[in-house]
Structure 1
Amino acid sequence: MKIVKEALAGTLESSDLLVKVAPATDEALEVVINSEVLRQFGEQIEKVVRETLGKLDVEAGLVVVEDKGALDCAIRARVQTAVLRGVESQDLNWSALS
């Protein structure tokens, strides 16, 4: 999937996160994570984000995550939602979202 516009998903409430996606300027995939628990869970957050992007076949774009202590399931859901809003595609591979 190719991200064609900026999109957001989530909130900045406690135990949630805000995910912003934007088109790539150089056809690279850049993931930026800001979190209150970055030192303890930064690697896990990035792993979940990158796995989710991989399942959605996102190869380029900017993904910014503002985490407030969200669980892995919330991270996956917010990344999926932001990407789906940013790609403007009607042909979705729903099985990739499980």
Structure 2
Amino acid sequence: MEIKKASMAGTLESGDVQIMAAPNPGGGIEIELESDVKLQFGSAIEKTVREELARLSVEEAYIRLVDKGALDCVIRARLECAVCRCAGVSYDWTREDGGK
């Protein structure tokens, strides 16, 4: 998927993560993480983000996360939502396969 514009998903509520994604032409994947648990879980969060971006075939993006204690599944869901918005991809969230 190609990141065409900036977008955001998630909140700053406890247990959630706010993810902002934007184009990063020629810059590959750049991840910025703000989290109270960065020392303990920062590398695991970054690994999750990179795995999800690879699954979505995103090769160039700037990703900024403000983590408020989100579980792995929440990070994946918020990232997928932000990337779909950035790419202008319509996604049917009511279907397990996304309506693809």
TM-score normalized by the length of structure 1: 0.88
Aligned length: 95
What is the CA RMSD across the aligned residues, in angstroms?
2.0
Distance 1:25 1:3 in 2: 9
Distance 1:95 1:47 in 2: 23
Q: Displacement, 1:25?
A: 3.7
Structure 2 gaps of 5+ residues are none
Q: Displacement, 1:28?
A: 1.6
**Paired position in structure 2 for 1:24:** 24
**Paired position in structure 2 for 1:3:** 3
Structure number with the higher helix fraction is: 1
Identical aligned residues as a percent? 45
The CA deviation string for residues 17-58 of structure 1, in whole angstroms up to 9 with x for no partner, is 000000114342111111110011111101111100000000
Structure 1 gaps of 5+ residues are none
TM-score normalized by the length of structure 2: 0.86
Distance 2:19 2:90 in 1: 21
